[in-house]
Structure 1
Amino acid sequence: MLTPMQVTPETMSSQGAQLTTTGEAMASGLQSLAATVDGDGYPWGGDEQGTLFAGLYQTVLSKAFDAISSHVEQVQYAGAALGAQAESYRGVEAGLTQGFTSAAGEIAG
């Protein structure tokens, strides 16, 4: 049996903020990792084998950082989108509340 899902703007907003914070921490960690990796220089040397290894290593490293950066951006986007959805829900709830209040006043009236 399925249990109903309860959605509240407050929870959505809170979770969106947490996702945004997580994305920011991921971005900071990725920058730190890139600085560490780049800080090692080129330890493989400048001979033929070192140059061959360096070319492959840099290609793989670039692809890896691109992929990780994409995931970081997706987490940040999800946090912002969830916060925006929470605001949208708040607006819908406020509009419905006002509409029902107005209708109840007219019926009583």
Structure 2
Amino acid sequence: MQYLLMIYQNEAEYANMRPAAGQQMTAEYQTFTQGIIQSGNFKAGDRLQPTTTATTVRVRDGKTLTTDGPFAETREQLGGYYLVEAKDLDAAIEIASRIPSARIGSIEVRPIWVYDKSRIGA
């Protein structure tokens, strides 16, 4: 089963991290990512640009409305994600617990909805 592991942390705190700590975190991410690639769990993953680059889109009464930034103000922002293959939720949680940002933020683990492609014409 596939799970999306969404990485949340405080952008301001991350931006103010000492250079040595930032380099250490980057190295830890490289090691983690290489490990889940080698184990076969990795399907996709990327770091996101800061929320200052985000645009939120809504459609109301047939009109497209855009707002700069994320939808809601929160203490932690979505900073990246991994899409992984895991045998069950417990295995996905174990993978999520090894993401370096779990120590300073949070990781949301959510199963991917599996669609019957034959029913949607794919």
What's the TM-score once normalised by structure 1's chain length?
0.33
Greater helix share, 1 or 2?
1
Q: RCO higher in 1 or 2 (8 Å CA, sep ≥ 6)?
A: 1
Higher Rg of the two aligned structures: 1
What's the TM-score once normalised by structure 2's chain length?
0.30
Greater strand share, 1 or 2?
2
